[in-house]
């Protein structure tokens, strides 16, 4: 059973940076073929932020974060990162790490079978 644990959330002023981490355990290479970050802002639906499928070179970013966020994974594929720069108040949300055994991107949360508990990111103006 895949277990995902996020860390790195916190409070920051607009224009600042944060790096989120997601540690994976109990996984196989197949079960975590693609990894992603989603977020849920207050009063809104959960939305995909970015995803990465290293084996297939498939990377996705939501338009709202392109040029500001960067998704990456360590060589052992045990930790997923989300570098967030030039943060805006509208980036305030709970951020979730997710994994899928399929070749998918973070446009639909139903594509992802495994989820972390989330980490809060708050950006003040």
- CA 37 to CA 49: how far, in whole Å? 5
- CA 83 to CA 58: how far, in whole Å? 18
**pLDDT for the residue numbered 92:** 98
Q: Is the pLDDT of residue 104 over 90?
A: no
Residue 15 CB: number of other CB atoms within 10 A? 11
Contact criterion met (CB below 8 Å) for 108 and 38? no
pLDDT per residue over 25-84, tens digit each? Answer: 887 776 678 999 999 999 999 999 999 987 777 899 999 999 999 999 987 768 999 999
- CA 39 to CA 60: how far, in whole Å? 15
Burial of 57 (0-12, 13-18, 19+ CB in 10 A): exposed
How does residue 107 score in pLDDT terms, banded at 50, 70 and 90?
A: confident
Q: Is the pLDDT of residue 23 over 80?
A: yes
**pLDDT for the residue numbered 72:** 93
**pLDDT for the residue numbered 28:** 74
Q: Is the pLDDT of residue 118 over 90?
A: yes
Q: What percent of the chain has pLDDT over 70?
A: 96
């Amino acid at each position: 059973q895949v277990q995902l644990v996020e860390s790195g959330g916190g409070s920051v002023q607009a224009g600042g940076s944060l790096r989120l981490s997601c540690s994976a355990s109990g996984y196989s290479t197949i079960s975590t073929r693609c990894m992603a970050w989603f977020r849920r802002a207050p009063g809104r639906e959960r939305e995909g932020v970015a995803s990465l499928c290293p084996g297939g070179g498939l990377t996705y970013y939501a338009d709202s974060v392109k040029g500001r966020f960067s998704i990456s994974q360590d060589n052992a594929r045990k930790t997923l990162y989300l570098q967030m720069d030039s943060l805006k108040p509208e980036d305030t949300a709970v951020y979730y790490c997710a994994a899928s055994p399929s070749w998918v991107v973070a446009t639909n949360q139903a594509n992802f079978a495994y989820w972390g508990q989330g980490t809060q990111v708050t950006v003040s103006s």
